[in-house]
Structure 1
Amino acid sequence: MYSIKQIPSKETFAVRLPVLRPGKPIESCIFEGDDLPSTVHFGIFEGEKIAGIVSVFEAATPLLPQQKQFQLRGMAVLDSYQKKGLGEKLVKAAEEYIKTAGGEAIWFNAREIAVGFYDKMGYKIIGNPFTLGDIGIHHVMYREA
């Protein structure tokens, strides 16, 4: 049985490091704005063990016209928990939070390999692909909240 709860930013590092920043220093897991009062982090747990995470930032992209936008960042599920629907559960929890916060649009930078996952959840690509540091090609994806 899995449960989702809000967690402090530091608890996300247990998933951010191996999934999103393998081989990099722990400091690479700190995202600008992680500890702002408007930022929320969710973890999905199997018992006491964290299996995946997503962070929700109140942030806007100029690609969208909506006034109140939220950005998903650091969406990740540990390898041993992938392909079990946990990522979808995390995104849905983030979407619910954004709706209650009055969000009008949700957006994020999706790694090229994740575009299909988000497309199935109703997200669309906007703008042109771009390379993010040494991480690789990304696409901005969005949907109305």
Structure 2
Amino acid sequence: MQNIKKITALETYSVRQPVLRKGKPLSSCQFDGDELKSTQHFGFFIDTELAGIISLYKKNNDNFSSSNQYQIRGMAVLDQFQKKGIGAKLVLFCEDYCKEIHVDLIWFNARTSAVGFYEKLGFHKIGLPFEIKEVGEHSLMSKNLID
């Protein structure tokens, strides 16, 4: 059985570390805003095993005029579960969640290697790629949720 459930920030670490912070200490898996009440963490489970994660933060980016924005961070799927549609399901789940709470825009910094994945889901790249220290090259991406 596969499903997406709300999880805690701490529960995300078991996926964040091997996928997003490989070789770095567990403390590197804690992101600013993880514990805010407005932050939501979701996990994709196969039976009882956590296979993928995604986090949503109520955070505005000055590149966008919308005042009701959420940022996706820490979207990751364990290696053995990649290429099975789990990442897309997590992103689309967050998109639906944001629509339900009347969010205008979702934005995030996508790793260069993932830009094509997000473009297939209707997100648009903004500006030129940039470097995030100790993480790598990223592109700002967004999607308007209102017409």
Please report the TM-score for the alignment, with normalisation by the length of structure 2: 0.97
Where does residue 107 of structure 1 map in the other structure?
Answer: 107
Give the aligned partner of residue 80 of structure 1: 80
Identify the residue that residue 41 of structure 1 maps to in structure 2: 41
Counterpart-to-counterpart distance in 2, 1:3 and 1:34: 22
| SS of alignment partner, residue 12 of structure 1 | helix
Give matches, 1:5-20, under 5 Å: 5-20=5-20
Partner of 1:69: 69
Which AA in structure 2 matches 1:19?
A: V
The letter of the residue matching 1:40 is Q
SS of aligned partner of 1:31 = coil
Identical counterparts, % of pairs:
49
Q: Mind listing any 5+ residue stretches in structure 1 that lack a counterpart?
A: none
CA–CA separation in structure 1 for the residues paired with 2:130 and 2:48: 37
Give TM-score, length-normalised by structure 1.
Answer: 0.98
Size of the alignment, in residue pairs?
145
Structure 1 residue identity aligned to 2:137? I
Amino acid at match of 1:97: Y
- Structure 2 unaligned residues grouped into runs of 5+: none
Give the whole-Å Cα distance in 2 for the aligned partners of 1:96 and 1:6: 14
- Shift of the alpha carbon at 1:23? 0.4
CA RMSD, Structure 1 to Structure 2 (Å): 0.6
Moved over 6 A (4+): none
Report matched runs for 1:117-136 at 5 Å. Answer: 117-136=117-136
